[in-house]
Amino acid sequence: MQKFDKLTGVAAPLPMINIDTDMIIPKQHLKTIKRTGLGKALFDEMRYEADGSEKPGFVLNQPAYRKAQILVAGANFGCGSSREHAPWALLDFGIRCVIAPSFADIFHNNCFKNGILPIPLPQEAVDRLMDDARKGANAQVTVDLEKQEIVRPDGEVIPFRIDAFRRHCLLNGLDDIGLTMEKGGDVEGYEARQKTAQPWLSMAPG
């Protein structure tokens, strides 16, 4: 999993509440178990017309936000079904951080497992960042996970707090598999001791 430490860039404004996982990645795109290739279907129904052409009014189709890595959104982001394809699609598009007043629990957990930083903030702080995001390329936001702070274009610092364990995992690029691999030496040591103490457990049948 890619590490997350410090990110500076343009934030895309998406001032909608209750953006559910079907809006993030519609069900017809859930046929794959690969984590790549889903970015083109991110927000499919909002981004594209029925004929596949882009809707010019949608924020991620606008030149200033085509490569946005930060998304500022409304409350209850990621509600709906538990599909992990939703953070996969965001990440494949390039979104590494989502800032909103609140998140659906399962989506929130899935973000951390896929290298995306979800930051819940009070509505008034989100409103200020939304104003920054609307300025496009003229306003860049910095998200610093090490310091747990967001720096607005005018220099204002907005603090946030992330669970210490999840922060450690993101800073070090550790998903569930990575956490297990960190214990590789302990596992190998245990297996070696078991072979000595109970050799019959490792004997081939017959």
What are 62-105's pLDDT values in tens digits? Answer: 999 999 999 999 999 999 998 899 999 999 999 999 999 999 99
Please list the helix, strand and coil fractions of the chain in percent, rounded to the nearest 5, in that order.
Answer: 40, 15, 40
User: Cα separation of 119 and 81, whole Å?
Assistant: 20
Residue 50 included in any domain: yes
**Which residues are paired to 150 by β-bridges?**
143, 158
pLDDT at 168: 95
- Other beta carbons within 10 Å of 41: 20
The region of weakest confidence among 22-31, 70-79, 157-166, 197-206 is 197-206
What mean pLDDT is predicted for residues 3-23? Answer: 97
Residue 206 included in any domain: no
Name the more confident of 185 and 60.
60
Residue 67 included in any domain: yes
Domain extent for 10: 6-198
- Here the tokens at position 175 are 């998903």
Residue 204 included in any domain: no
Q: What is the CATH number of the domain that holds 161?
A: 3.20.19.10
Give the tens place of pLDDT for each residue, 149-167.
999 999 999 999 999 999 9
pTM: 0.86
Residue 199 CA to its chain's centroid (Å): 45
Residue 165 included in any domain: yes
Greatest pairwise CA separation for the chain in angstroms: 74
Residue 154 included in any domain: yes
Residue 205 included in any domain: no
- Other beta carbons within 10 Å of 204: 4
Confidence of residue 196 (pLDDT cuts 50, 70, 90): confident
How many folded domains does the chain comprise? Answer: 1
Residue 143 has pLDDT above 80, yes or no: yes
User: Cα separation of 61 and 173, whole Å?
Assistant: 30
What mean pLDDT value characterizes the chain?
A: 91
pLDDT at 175: 75
Residue 1 included in any domain: no
First-to-last C-alpha distance (Å) of the chain: 42
Residue 130 identity: M
User: Cα separation of 27 and 43, whole Å?
Assistant: 11
Would you say 100 and 160 are in contact if contact means Cβ atoms under 8 Å apart?
A: no
